[in-house]
Structure 1
Amino acid sequence: MRRHAHPPYRPQTNGKVERQLVGGLMMQHLTDPENAPTADEVLEDLRALAAHLPEKA
């Protein structure tokens, strides 16, 4: 399996995913709080996504 080189860590761009995630969750809780995911559900989904990430190069 071919591994791709990871770009260097850049705080100014690497925080974009976190900001989008938090913004989306906040919007869900404001517009439809009854159907918004719980913290446990979000963590479960993030762990499932992380399980598909490649190992460190």
Structure 2
Amino acid sequence: MLNHGRRRLERKKRGYGSFPKEIFKKNAKINKRSVPLLECPECGKKQYAKSYRVKRLELQEV
């Protein structure tokens, strides 16, 4: 009985580099989370805008 369990485990581990299941490898995030600091031209009050994950951030004056 023990030999059958060993054979079964070896067959299970065969494709995953001695692990019973495949290890989930997640890629690193390539987008940085940008938090722009906005300043009011009239009163000078500063506040942070909502942050998003973007590759490129473009700000325009209104």
TM value normalised by structure 2: 0.27
- Structure richer in strand, relative to its length: 2
- Structure richer in helix, relative to its length: 1
Q: Name which structure has the greater RCO, CA cutoff 8 Å, separation 6+.
A: 1
Larger radius of gyration: 2
